[in-house]
Amino acid sequence: MQSMTSQQALIAALHRAMAADERVIFLGEGVATKNPELLAAFGAERVRNTPLAEASIVGCAVGAAAMGLRPVVDLLFSPFLMLAMDALVNSAGKLGALSGGQFEFPLVVLAQTGAGWSIGGQHNHN
């Protein structure tokens, strides 16, 4: 069995998912810059850097999911989930039922947590 870090495993899984389904897109602050192998393989239309605006990133991903894409969003750190909760709870979480099943929201949100990064209290809830 190959040994890899969790980040390497995540990128390998994303690569497989994106190769298998052209609807999978990867969005987030710096994702194209930090993952040049994904950018080279799938292009800037599917691997997109975003502004540092978590509510907007997730709101765009919810809309993309409603229209048939399968977004994977990297919010970097778990405290930033709070900034995106309206889109996650009130849109992605409810609109499928409120629309009578007309919409689905196949959406993945990544947000790491843990100790030992020396990144400051705003980025870590440990």
| Positions marked catalytic | 125
What torsion, rounded to 10 degrees, do the Cα atoms 34, 35, 39, 41 define?
170
> Mind giving me the DSSP string for 39-72?
HHHH-TTTEEE--S-HHHHHHHHHHHHHTT-EEE
Residues in the chain: 126
d(CA 88, CA 69): 16
| Cβ atoms of 24 and 65 closer than 8 Å | no
> Cβ neighbours of residue 67 under 8 Å, at least 6 residues apart?
none
